[in-house]
Amino acid sequence: METRKGDWSGIHFEKTQQAFNRDVLPKLGNLRVSDITPAVIAPVIEAIVKRGSLETASKVLQNVGAVFRFAEGKGFSRGGSNPAAAVRELLPRKRSHSQRPALLKFDALADLLRRAEGAPISPAVRICHRLIAYTAARIGNAITADWREFDLDSETPAWTIPRSRMKAKDRPFDHKVILAPTIAKELRIWRSITGGKGLVFPSPTGRAHITHEALEKALRVTLGMEGKHSVHGWRASFSTLARDHGFSREVTELTLDHLHDNAVARAYDRGERLAERVKLMYWWDAQLSAGEQGQVGIPLRPIVTSGVACENG
């Protein structure tokens, strides 16, 4: 883990370490690496698969394999074949990431948000889910958010995520998430409740912050959305509906912090398109908030924010 720490993001390192502590070390931690065979590793991975975490099982197995390569390099094992390699054949075929479930109608998304408001979900999970819904932010960025990243009191509130915390780390600017009126107001209320210092979504169970699984479980189990919509699915909903309603691919992709154009074009065009992104986020906010109030398909109307004329539904 220490040899990889400099190469991985903080979020990835933390998630990997948590997975090892939870799934691997209780079963393999006290065994000599030279005594571990594929048959010893297999039950560890099969237990993860059995609870429905196929992606986690694959990543854990990949990292277990790295441990054995490290051990061989250090002379702690006899060498030869890596015992983790054979276990990969026990993994079910991966489902395509592009098929993650996502709702693609505003009325369905609004219904989900309304039901989440009345569901037995912890306050931190509830508001974190709403932040993701209203911004299409990545789960990892949301659960580890720090109050120092938020400017909630300016004319155009924003959440600026340091580039070091983003999936893509080779861009010359931090990622700015526009916070339109509904979610900005809710975050100000949440700030007054929590004190506005440190992590935005601290865990009620003693962890530093709420977990990825807590959010996913809230949708999958509590709200019964398994196979219909996932927390990550908000990004697909946002991208699809924004494009369907006339917003450009470039602005939508920049909002999601995805790459757009080819490497040569990006080398010359380094703009963030903030004015267009403000327009997009105010439109998205208006559609969701109107839907929550029982209205859908509201017309666009001009709005001015930070001196930029925008369209808001």
Q: Which residue has the higher pLDDT, 124 or 79?
A: 124
pLDDT at 313: 33
Q: How confident is the model at residue 103 (pLDDT cuts 50, 70, 90)?
A: very high
Superfamily of domain 99-312: Intergrase catalytic core (1.10.443.10)
pLDDT at 259: 61
For 191, the enclosing helix (H) or strand (E) is helix 181-194
Lowest mean pLDDT among 75-79, 185-189, 195-199, 309-313: 309-313
How many helical (H) and strand (E) elements, i.e. helices and strands, does the chain have?
15, 5
pLDDT at 272: 61
User: What's the rounded mean pLDDT across residues 82-105?
Assistant: 78
Question: Considering the chain, what percentage of its residues have pLDDT values greater than 70?
Answer: 84
pLDDT at 283: 96
d(CA 112, CA 118): 10
Judged by DSSP in three states, 47 sits in helix
Average pLDDT, the chain: 84
Does 108 score more than 70 pLDDT? yes
How buried is residue 255: exposed, middle or buried, by Cβ count under 10 Å (0-12/13-18/19+)?
Answer: buried
Our measurement of the distance from residue 180's CA atom to the centroid of its chain's CA atoms, rounded to an integer in Å, reads: 19
**Residues 20-51: tens digit of each pLDDT:** 999 999 999 999 888 899 999 999 999 988 88
Beta strand 158-161 with 175-178: parallel, antiparallel or unpaired?
antiparallel
d(CA 113, CA 109): 6
Give domain limits for the chain.
Answer: 2-94, 99-312
Asked if 234 and 287 touch (Cβ cutoff 8 Å), the reply is no
Q: How confident is the model at residue 262 (pLDDT cuts 50, 70, 90)?
A: very low
Polymer length in residues for the chain: 313
pTM of the model: 0.65
CA dihedral 20, 24, 26, 27 (to 10 degrees): -170
CA dihedral 263, 267, 272, 277 (to 10 degrees): -30
* Phi, psi of 49, deg, nearest 5: -60, -40
pLDDT at 95: 53
Judged by DSSP in three states, 188 sits in helix
Q: How many CB atoms lie within 10 A of CB 88?
A: 14
For domain 2-94, give its CATH number from 1.10.150.130, 3.30.9.10, 3.30.365.10, 1.20.1300.10.
1.10.150.130
DSSP string, 198-220: SBSS--TTSSSS--HHHHHHIII
d(CA 125, CA 119): 11
What secondary structure letter does DSSP report for 182? H
